[in-house]
Chain A
Amino acid sequence: MHLLKTLRAVAGLFLFAAGVHAAEPVPGLLAGKWKVLPELSTDLTPWPEMKLSITQEAGKVEIARHLSWGRRAFDESMTLELGKSDNVVPVKMWADNRNLGAFINDDLVKHVKADLIDGGRLLTLDTRIMLMTQQGEREVFIHSQLQVSANGKRLTWIELRSTRSRPILQVFERLPE
């Protein structure tokens, strides 16, 4: 009887500890190399191919994007401090929709806040970017979430832009290391 009470207490302590551990983000769930699956994704004209490389270390995440069409390729990356209210990220070109008459303004930066939640399975990005159009400058707000699947093999990137009436969905498969 005494042993059972002790075991219950130990089990309870163990479960308590496990529960506390699950509330902390597990680093590295999004890390890896990913390739877009066009058949499941929003058309990303004029870039039929996209690859991501995500690395995570304590408190930081780096996302590198490689966009390509035949011989033409564009690379960009950003390193974000998690939880920091304003990561200032250099922007060479607003590559996300080259068929729109909207260009990065002369500041050539965007402002990003990044948070890792849900046990490290979901990265949220809140971005402010100033675009230039024929009529002048226009601030655009973008909310994104990058979510890894339960088995870790798929990454879903959903983007909502303040100026766009449809969400943009990119689904990636994990590439072998």
Chain B
Amino acid sequence: MKQIFITLGFLFVASLGLAQTGRPADHPASVRQVAKAPATASIVPVSGNWEMTGDVPRHALIISMQGLANRGEPRLYVEYPKDWQWEIVHPLRDFLTKRHGVKWDRLETDDADGVLTRFSKYAKGYIVWDKQVRSSLIVAFTAAGILDGVVVNEDLIPLAEKHGLKKLADFRGLFTGKTDDEIYQWAYDEYFERCSRDFYVVMGGEAGAIMKPAIADFGIQQRAFFSDLSASAKDPKELALLKKIFSRQNNASIVLGWHSYAKDTEGEHTALVSNYGLRMEGLHNLPNVSFSSQIPLTPDFKFTNPGHLKPDGDYRPKKKVYIAAVATDAMGIGSWTKPGRGKIPYAWQVLMNWVWMNPPVLQYFYEDRTPNDYFIGGLTGPGYMYPKAIPAGKFPGLMQTAGTLMDELDLHIMEIMDYSEGNRHMGNTDLTKEVVDAYYKAFPKALGFINGYGVARTYDLRGTQPMISYDYYLEVKRPVEEAAADLEELMQLNPQRPYFLLMHVRELNTVEKVNAIFNRLSEDVEVVPLDVFLKMSATEKTYRTRFKQPTDAVMTDENR
């Protein structure tokens, strides 16, 4: 009898754990959803001035308060300007009202006083950053999450103290004359042991006089370590410290933010992240994640991505040119909200980790899709990574996580990108045979794979699963007549029919522009959905199998 009670007790406790999380293993445990969205939440607009000597101090105070106030409950939403790179801010606000019934209690623009009036009780004090040392603000973000303080410069001390907050740390004069590696080494020694091993924030993007730290609320909420350390070999001391930090983070953990535009390149930083098997989740200016990560999906919603393939469909291609258009990075910062969407088939790469980082945003996109919008997984895996840079031993586990995310989101195609040896200007973005083998092994049920960001020349077909690289990259500024001439030229260069032309559309190109390009073409082309495109290309293979060759030019540290 005693044994039965012990067993039942164990099962009861275990079930409590499931009820509390109820989340798949690929969702970080520290990111929790509330049972339902709040009936009321505060909303504070912020100005379009992101200068360090302008409104950044006030914005940093608001954002840090947001991170603390949103611990446990989504309470404060920041309304970024309409021209913010992430265009989802205003549509999400309205979606939360429409689908979740959230009523917004609106403050005035940049009303830090109003924010502190409502929420200062969630802070234990304030941290003073040094106006003369930009990096001290980044250190202050780390301290904010660990010490539960809002960040202020000396001009805002009276405001913080007006609300009963006490000084927790003061960085004025502490970092004068020091290099960034010295500053962040100090921060590492002081705070790192208390920081999250699931999240690190690279507080990069714009440098110098500008900072747009919208991701800081989530980093603070999660007690992440912040820095803008360089991943470039030209900065050996910063690189060494960054490697130490990455080596201490949990396997497959998340790197939030974006590399510094002043220090290294996207390729360098993301390659380094991949070297440690970590997952990049940009950008530095991604807003309100401390709020939206807590909002559940509505009970009536399920992620469905029906696609266009019919069980009894005939997908034998005709002797013509087939084009599939793909937009990466375009959900949230691109052309999703621009006119013309739905006129032609378009594939959209989904930020898969938003299933736990930003669930209502993904619900918004899935509910807003037209029959011509088709979603695909990416980039590369369960987050932005470069497969050639991932240690072979870590690859299967990461792709298993990616597969789980794809199942949750009803995605059947994986988009791969690798800038570890080149980019769309120099070097190459092709995949070795070993990497291709690993993808086929990891995703046996995928419809297929696409590769590149710029153009590439990795192609394969195994069974019914093709691997197709981009044959064309449409730049934002490319005039319509030149882009049409580019596609005509590709049709001349590839005379066999059917010709499968996979086109990558830079996110700010509108669907209307793409349509205008297609309307200029001389040959009978058919723009098809990506799933149909891959099905057809598997039926008649006119592309040659090719992988990255040892003799292919690569970009090295010397010519980055």
Contact = CB atoms under 8 A, between A and B. Distances in A.
A69 B425 CA distance: 9
A84 to B, nearest CB: 28
A101 B457 contact: yes
A153 interface: no
Q: Is the interface of A mostly helix, strand, loop or mixed?
A: loop
A98 interface: yes
Contacts of A103: 457
A6 interface: no
Interface stretch (A10-18, A19-27, A143-151, A158-166): A158-166
Interface string A14-46: 000000000000000000000000000011011
Nearest to B265: A71
A135 B496 contact: yes
A135 B522 CA distance: 20
Interface residues of A, number: 33
Interface stretch (B99-107, B176-184, B400-408, B475-483): B475-483
Contact of A72 (B425, B470, B492, B543): B425
B: interface residue count bin:
35 or more
B97 interface: no
Contacts of B489: 97, 100, 161, 163-165
A136 B544 contact: yes
Interface string B533-560: 0000000001110000001010000001
Contacts of B543: 134-135
Contacts of A93: 426, 553
A136 B495 CA distance: 10
Interface centre among B426, B474, B495, B553 (most CB of A within 10 A): B426
B488 interface: yes
B493 A131 contact: yes
A29 to B, nearest CB: 30
A106 interface: yes
Interface string B454-470: 11110100000000011
A46 B544 contact: no
Interface in B423-449: 423-426
Contact of B425 (A42, A98, A164, A166): A98
Contact of A132 (B425, B457, B553): B457
Contacts of A47: 425
A99 B425 contact: no
A66 to B, nearest CB: 13
B403 to A, nearest CB: 28
Nearest to B427: A93
Contacts of A97: 486, 489
A138 B491 CA distance: 12
B392 interface: no
Interface of B: 265, 423-426, 454-457, 459, 469-475, 477-479, 481-482, 485-486, 488-490, 492-496, 499-500, 522, 542-544, 551, 553, 560
Given A74-B426, A100-B472, A165-B488, 4 more contacts: A71-B265, A71-B560, A133-B471, A134-B544
Q: Which 6 pairs of residues, A with B, have the shortest CB-CB distance?
A: A101-B471, A163-B492, A134-B543, A101-B455, A166-B485, A99-B473
